[in-house]
Amino acid sequence: MEKHFRHILSVTDLHPEEIKRLIHLTQKVKKNPKKYTNYLKAKTAVMIFQAPSLRTRMSFEIGMNQLGGNALNYDLQSSPLSKGKETIEDSSRVISRYADVVIARLYNTIELERFSHVSSIPVINAMTDLEHPCQVFSDLFTIYEHHKNFKNLKLSYVGDSNNNVTHSLLLGCASVGMDIALACPNKKEFMPDQEILKKARTIGNTTGADIEVHHTPEKAVKEADIVYTDSWMSYHIDPSKHVERVRILKPFQVNKKLLKQAQDHALFMHCLPAQRGEEVTDDVLDGKQSIVLDQAENRLHTQKALLIGLI
């Protein structure tokens, strides 16, 4: 990944070769963190979190500190922006004069695009309703750690496929040439965004990645090397829909029985937080095939590499 001004709003803001370079840089950062201790000395990241966060916020804040820089959390609740006293564009222009990078978790993708459009410093998408690129860059690194390549690998995602992680997984797997099969209910509200699915398939035609959508989990996880799931209740979903969604999605739970349909060496992944007993059972989440803690740890290393490549 060449070091020059750019925003990372989508997985596709890094070309396939740049994703591979990011993975290799992450390897170096993780193996020898002391080498990068002062790499971002006197640099400042402004962090804007509209939605809750544990892994993303902590890994970016700790990562900036470990690189010798500073991370400032901008409290939206007390800001002119949240009270409608200032446009998102004006806020962005001002922050650009103070900081070196913005890490923003906003509910609405359009608002993040408006913010980044006028920003004169890099803006990193820390999650919107449409994508979660930082999670998936880290997931790809975690898979690479375990398999050393992406060729002939198949990732199966099971559950609600109309969410940011699924969308970024589609684009990420397609970019590195890894097959991906989704399993979700045959209802529009659980299906992936059709434009993103189309884009992923276009990328996959170039990289050799096969992309499938199924409505039976057993078919999707057959021959899978990685089985992945996420919460059935994303941040943007009204809590009143919980009971009905659990009823519809229960057949898509990742449990021991389903995991046995994948390859014997299959790994289990989950971006966390997990709703135990809903999308995944305890024996899978805490089992020998689970690498969810590797995923969580690697958020720190991957995001440090991303910051090094941008600032």
pLDDT beyond 60 at 1: no
Contact in structure between 12 and 171 (CB atoms under 8 Å): yes
Give 173-217 pLDDT, tens digit per residue. Answer: 999 999 999 999 999 999 999 999 999 999 999 999 999 999 999
Residue 52, pLDDT score: 87
pLDDT beyond 60 at 2: no
Residue 84, pLDDT score: 67
pLDDT beyond 70 at 5: no
Reported for 282-285, long-range contacts at CB under 8 A and 24+ positions apart, including other chains, are 283/255, 283/256, 284/254, 284/255, 284/256, 284/259
pLDDT beyond 60 at 223: yes
Q: How far is CA 3 from CA 136, 246, 305, 307, 311, in A?
A: 20, 45, 11, 10, 7
3: pLDDT confidence band, cut at 50, 70 and 90?
low
Q: Which residue has the tokens 């400032």?
A: 72
Q: Which residues are CB-neighbours of 3 under 8 A, at least 6 positions away?
A: 308, 309, 310, 311
Give 131-154 pLDDT, tens digit per residue. Answer: 999 999 999 999 999 999 999 999
Q: Which residues are CB-neighbours of 203 under 8 A, at least 6 positions away?
A: 12, 16, 171, 174, 175, 209
pLDDT beyond 80 at 80: no
pLDDT beyond 60 at 225: yes
CATH architecture under which domain 11-131+298-310 falls: 3-Layer(aba) Sandwich (3.40)
First to last CA, the chain: 12
Annotation: CATH topology of 135-296: Rossmann fold (3.40.50)
Q: CB atoms < 10 A from the CB of 223, how many?
A: 12
Structural Rg of the chain based on CA atoms: 19
pLDDT beyond 70 at 4: no
Mean pLDDT of the residues in the chain: 95
Which DSSP category does 99 fall into?
A: -
pLDDT beyond 80 at 82: no
Q: Which residues are CB-neighbours of 96 under 8 A, at least 6 positions away?
A: 118, 119, 120, 121
77: pLDDT confidence band, cut at 50, 70 and 90?
confident
Could you tell me the two tokens for 92? Answer: 């962005």
The domain segmentation of the chain, as residue ranges, is 11-131+298-310, 135-296
Query: What's the average model confidence in pLDDT over 76-82?
Result: 72
75: pLDDT confidence band, cut at 50, 70 and 90?
confident
Distance (Å, whole) CA 155 – CA 182: 9
Domains 11-131+298-310 and 135-296 share a fold: yes
Q: How far is CA 247 from CA 160, 184, 236, 243, 279, in A?
A: 12, 13, 19, 6, 11
Give 279-304 pLDDT, tens digit per residue. Answer: 999 999 999 999 999 999 999 999 99
pLDDT beyond 80 at 237: yes
pLDDT beyond 90 at 78: no
- Beta pairing, strands 154-158 & 226-229: parallel
Residue 189, pLDDT score: 95
Question: Which of these ranges, 231-235, 260-264, 297-301, has the smallest mean pLDDT?
Answer: 231-235
Residue 237's Cβ-count burial label (10 Å; 0-12, 13-18, 19+) is middle
Residue 76, pLDDT score: 76
Give 18-60 pLDDT, tens digit per residue. Answer: 999 999 999 999 999 999 999 999 999 999 999 889 999 999 9
